[in-house]
Amino acid sequence: MRLSAHSILFLACAPLVLCAAGDPAKPENFQTAVAPILTNTCGGCHNDQLASGGLDLTPFRSPASITTERGEWETIVEKLRAGEMPPKGMPRPPQAAIDALIRVVEGEFDRADSQIKPDPGSVIARRLNRYEYSNTVRDLLGVEFHAEKDFPTDDSSFGFDNIANVLTVSPVLTERYLAAAEKIASRAIGADPLPAPRTFDALTANNTLQRLNASTVEANYRADYDGDYQIRLRLLGERPADAKPAGGIGIFVDGKLLRTLPFSNQASDAPAEFRQYLIAGQHEIRVRLLNDDYGSGLARPAFTDAKKNRYVEVIGFTGPYASQVENPLRKRILFCDPQSGQACIAKIVASLAHQAYRRPVTNEETARLLKFVALAQSRGQTPEQAIELAIEAMLVSPDFLFRIERDTASVHRVSDVELASRLSYFLWCSMPDDELLALAESGKLHDPAVLDAQVKRMLENPKSRALATNFAGQWLEIRNLDVVTPDNRKYAEWGSDLRDAMKTETLMFFDYILHENRPIADFLSARYTFLNDTLAKHYGIEGVKGSDFRRVELSTDQRGGLLGQAGILTVSSYPTRTSVVLRGKYVLENILGTPPPPPPPDVPALDETAVGTSASLRKQMEAHRSNPMCASCHAKMDVLGFGLENYDGIGKWRTMDGKFPVDPSGTLPNGKTFSTPAEMRTVLVGELPQFAHCLTEKMLTYALGRGLEPYDRTTVSQMERRLAASDYKFQTLIYEIVRSLPFQMRRGMVPEEKTSTTTKELARK
């Protein structure tokens, strides 16, 4: 029997008959704690005669149903814990009685789980996603390659793009792999000659030079080769004599401030020039006037006298030129002189294959790669160019593109080498480094003390910031900032600088909580965040100067935790307005782990023209959810969304929505109330175990590269208990995932009579 979400909400429609469930004088078991509530509270409507809402609870009135109807009972417990059952307006048993029911049912879950044969699950060969590919190329060959710009978007499942089952290989991706391998190998070795330099000017006339705001212009340039490029700026006009000198012109390449040039008020036709090393690929060149108190900026003014303004007319590029900047890993790759003979080339190829395949390689595998070397040399290419061709072959090999684990039994511990890749792609989104791979090949990595030491070392490495970029970027949907398009007519301050600042705030916030091992409650209620001048101005926080981000203590309750951050508030809004539904759904999915079901078809659209003009959004939504089929889900979604209505569509604080005062107050299904966003955050902190459950499931899904199954319940429960015992310190969750049965073991396809002793021992840990 399958209960729908709507059916569950009607479980308590019958009048309450007070029962003794939860009485401390009675033992807690099914008959004393569960049966009375089912009979006296729910049975009046949900019986074999009436079955209101299509639900008959008769089969649930025996203890055995907790096992036979496990999924339905889990839903019942979830609704009870959230206060959604009994429904609003119906009498409720005492909270102690509800708590006793939950304890008994979950105790039966634990007893049933203890009888189940441990199952670590299985994962098919996992293709590297775009971010894993880029990071692996960086760490293997020292080449910055942005696969997210060149490769098709990876499919996502369970909220993440590293799920093995959906990471297929299309013909288009195969073509991109071949093209990328040639470029990457050439850049790694640098043996190919550069073409003659060419000049490209980004002119306002052909719209390749774009105005982002008064003080910022941007041009996009595609460098076809690694090398030095001469970048030229030409400014026209002049500023009024009484204008204060600006702090200089900042040159940003791909979001990073690389250089600051002087800036004066006087007109000059002489261009400012400098040389910059660029890697091959598309680049975003942004020119920004720093600390400009006068405000006339660098963008061409629309209706003012050019003589009273300085603005950028041209950003020019000339190149490539041979560069003094050398690939930092080139000497490690070419650790002997390829010109000295074939023995050296063979050593280089074998060493690279060992790292690229993330395991020891056989003589036969090395011999196959050396055939490419021989082919290149037969065509008259140099030894270095011959090594490039062997690297190309490695980069399109399944042993590089896939994380392949080999089965030895139906349930078995993964090899230490396979465990090394599991660990490095979890924490670094990249290949194992030399130390990790050496420990794995020596057979020492699975030792608990050694493994814990490696987790500590890897978390301390800057590469662990990949957890923020890739795990948090998807869990918190911050990646979506790259594609959202707030309406500039309504949100004039929106632009690339503000977007990038929003993303940086959330990622630095996550990274800080991780590396400082803060309690996960900080995600909900931290009284600090990370700001630069752009974002501080957006928040109305004074005293933050400059483009560098720094930790800022919050002095008011307008901000706090994730739900006070503009990036999250922006990705959960529409382009023209806020959305209580999107924001409420965001909290349910990403904070509480209770996503609502899909909306029914033919839901009428909200009258956008009336929002903030003829009616408040709250009044609009009350009418919008009058459909009884919608009301049950909206009752829990909308209240959370309204709690964030003090933030506009790009996260700026407000007290008015058009002509109407913002009312962020609400009452949750469990009866808890709040009047402000700060009070709502306090209420959510009270649901910390539920948030911990949500975060545990999401991070375990990301670490395993697969969705969680019923047999993972025991693992999740163990992690939650240990996380709570550590006062919810974030790193506890990392260590528990790495130590867990599904992370260290796998179920293969080889038949086995019974579970191995190793499996049973690990399951008990």
pLDDT at 627 over 80: no
* Helices 617-624, 580-590: crossing angle, 10 deg rounding: 70
pLDDT at 301 over 60: no
User: Of the candidates 673, 647, 686, which has an alpha carbon nearest to the alpha carbon of residue 525?
Assistant: 686
Give the 3-state secondary structure of residue 747: strand
The distance of Cα 438 from the centroid of its chain, to the nearest Å, equals 30
Structure tokens at 108: 């039966």
Q: Using an 8 Å Cβ cutoff, are 36 and 21 in contact?
A: yes
Domain boundaries, the chain: 5-114, 198-321, 469-685
Of the listed ranges 20-29, 280-289, 330-339, 557-566, the least confidently predicted one is 20-29
Of the listed ranges 39-53, 228-242, 711-725, the least confidently predicted one is 39-53
Of the pLDDT bands very low, low, confident and very high (cuts 50, 70, 90), residue 579 is very high
Contacts of 263 (CB under 8 A, 6+ apart): 245, 246, 247, 248, 249, 289, 310
Q: What percent of the chain has pLDDT over 90?
A: 54
Could you give the CA distance from residue 655 to residue 637 in angstroms, rounded to a whole number?
A: 21
Structure tokens at 256: 């990073």
Q: Using an 8 Å Cβ cutoff, are 252 and 258 in contact?
A: yes
The pLDDT of residue 562:
98
The pLDDT of residue 227:
87
The distance of Cα 622 from the centroid of its chain, to the nearest Å, equals 33
The pLDDT of residue 16:
36
Q: Is 111 exposed, middle or buried (0-12, 13-18, 19+ CB in 10 A)?
A: exposed
Could you give the CA distance from residue 728 to residue 714 in angstroms, rounded to a whole number?
A: 19
Largest CA distance in the chain: 92
Measured in degrees and rounded to the nearest 5, phi and psi for residue 348 equal -65, -45
Of the listed ranges 91-105, 255-269, 524-538, the least confidently predicted one is 255-269
User: Of the candidates 293, 98, 323, 164, which has an alpha carbon nearest to the alpha carbon of residue 230?
Assistant: 323
pLDDT at 629 over 90: no
Could you give the CA distance from residue 34 to residue 105 in angstroms, rounded to a whole number?
A: 8
Of the pLDDT bands very low, low, confident and very high (cuts 50, 70, 90), residue 460 is very high
pLDDT at 134 over 80: yes
pLDDT at 701 over 90: yes
Contacts of 1 (CB under 8 A, 6+ apart): 56, 59, 69, 72
pLDDT at 679 over 90: yes
Of the listed ranges 113-117, 175-179, 369-373, 529-533, the least confidently predicted one is 113-117
Give the 3-state secondary structure of residue 607: coil
Of the listed ranges 95-104, 536-545, 692-701, the least confidently predicted one is 95-104
Give percent helix, percent strand, percent coil of the chain, each to the nearest 5. Answer: 45, 15, 40
Count of CB atoms situated within 10 Å of the CB of 448: 10
* Helices 713-725, 95-114: crossing angle, 10 deg rounding: 120
Average pLDDT, the chain: 85
**What is each CA distance from 249 to 148, 204, 258, in whole angstroms?**
29, 19, 11
Structure tokens at 373: 């070397």
Average pLDDT rounded to a whole number, residues 76-105:
80
Could you give the CA distance from residue 298 to residue 276 in angstroms, rounded to a whole number?
A: 21
User: Of the candidates 653, 663, 434, 672, which has an alpha carbon nearest to the alpha carbon of residue 564?
Assistant: 653
Give the 3-state secondary structure of residue 745: strand
> Ramachandran region of residue 145, left (φ > 0), alpha (ψ -120 to 50) or beta?
beta
Of the pLDDT bands very low, low, confident and very high (cuts 50, 70, 90), residue 203 is low
Of the pLDDT bands very low, low, confident and very high (cuts 50, 70, 90), residue 659 is confident
Of the listed ranges 11-20, 375-384, 520-529, the least confidently predicted one is 11-20
Report the run of H or E that residue 212 belongs to, with start and end.
strand 209-213
Pairing verdict, β 411-413 and 528-531 = unpaired
Structure tokens at 134: 């880029």
C-alpha angle 163/157/463, rounded to 5°? 50
* pTM, two decimal places: 0.84
Could you give the CA distance from residue 96 to residue 619 in angstroms, rounded to a whole number?
A: 36
* Helices 730-739, 496-515: crossing angle, 10 deg rounding: 70
Q: Using an 8 Å Cβ cutoff, are 145 and 180 in contact?
A: yes
For tokens 């290149």, name the residue: 376
> Ramachandran region of residue 711, left (φ > 0), alpha (ψ -120 to 50) or beta?
alpha
pLDDT at 45 over 90: no
Structure tokens at 362: 């056989």
The pLDDT of residue 611:
61
For residue 160, give the DSSP letter.
Answer: B
Q: Is 379 exposed, middle or buried (0-12, 13-18, 19+ CB in 10 A)?
A: exposed
The pLDDT of residue 28:
87
Average pLDDT rounded to a whole number, residues 30-48:
76
Of the pLDDT bands very low, low, confident and very high (cuts 50, 70, 90), residue 12 is very low
Contacts of 239 (CB under 8 A, 6+ apart): 265, 294, 296, 308, 309, 310
The pLDDT of residue 15:
38
User: Of the candidates 646, 663, 426, which has an alpha carbon nearest to the alpha carbon of residue 557?
Assistant: 646
- The answer to whether the bond into 320 is cis (omega within 30° of 0) is yes
The pLDDT of residue 63:
87
Q: What percent of the chain has pLDDT over 70?
A: 81
For residue 141, give the DSSP letter.
Answer: H
Pairing verdict, β 272-278 and 227-236 = antiparallel
The β-bridge partners of 661 are 656
Structure tokens at 150: 């060149």
Of the pLDDT bands very low, low, confident and very high (cuts 50, 70, 90), residue 1 is very low
Of the pLDDT bands very low, low, confident and very high (cuts 50, 70, 90), residue 673 is very high
- If one compares 625 and 619, the residue with the highest pLDDT of the two is 619
Q: Using an 8 Å Cβ cutoff, are 764 and 420 in contact?
A: no
Contacts of 305 (CB under 8 A, 6+ apart): none
Rg value, the chain, Cα: 30
**Number of Cα atoms under 13 Å in the Cβ half of residue 26:** 18
pLDDT at 195 over 60: yes
Structure tokens at 88: 């609003």
Could you give the CA distance from residue 394 to residue 177 in angstroms, rounded to a whole number?
A: 11
The pLDDT of residue 453:
98
Could you give the CA distance from residue 754 to residue 744 in angstroms, rounded to a whole number?
A: 18
DSSP string, 402-432: EE----SSSEEEPPHHHHHHHHHHHHTSS--
- The answer to whether the bond into 86 is cis (omega within 30° of 0) is yes
The string of pLDDT tens digits covering residues 265-288 is 665 556 778 888 888 778 888 888
Average pLDDT rounded to a whole number, residues 412-418:
96
Q: Using an 8 Å Cβ cutoff, are 529 and 473 in contact?
A: no
Average pLDDT rounded to a whole number, residues 395-404:
97
The pLDDT of residue 222:
85
Provide the residue type at 169 as one letter: V
Could you give the CA distance from residue 520 to residue 720 in angstroms, rounded to a whole number?
A: 12
DSSP string, 262-288: ---SS---SPEEEEEEE-SEEEEEEEE
**What is each CA distance from 712 to 117, 118, 696, 700, 704, in whole angstroms?**
11, 9, 12, 10, 11
pLDDT at 684 over 80: yes
**Helix boundaries (H) for 643-740:** 677-685, 688-704, 713-725, 730-739
Q: Using an 8 Å Cβ cutoff, are 495 and 284 in contact?
A: no
Could you give the CA distance from residue 669 to residue 87 in angstroms, rounded to a whole number?
A: 8
C-alpha angle 57/58/59, rounded to 5°? 95
Measured in degrees and rounded to the nearest 5, phi and psi for residue 311 equal -145, 155
Contacts of 667 (CB under 8 A, 6+ apart): 639, 673
198-321 has CATH 3.10.180.10 classification: no
The pLDDT of residue 269:
54
Of the pLDDT bands very low, low, confident and very high (cuts 50, 70, 90), residue 390 is very high
Structure tokens at 341: 């003979």
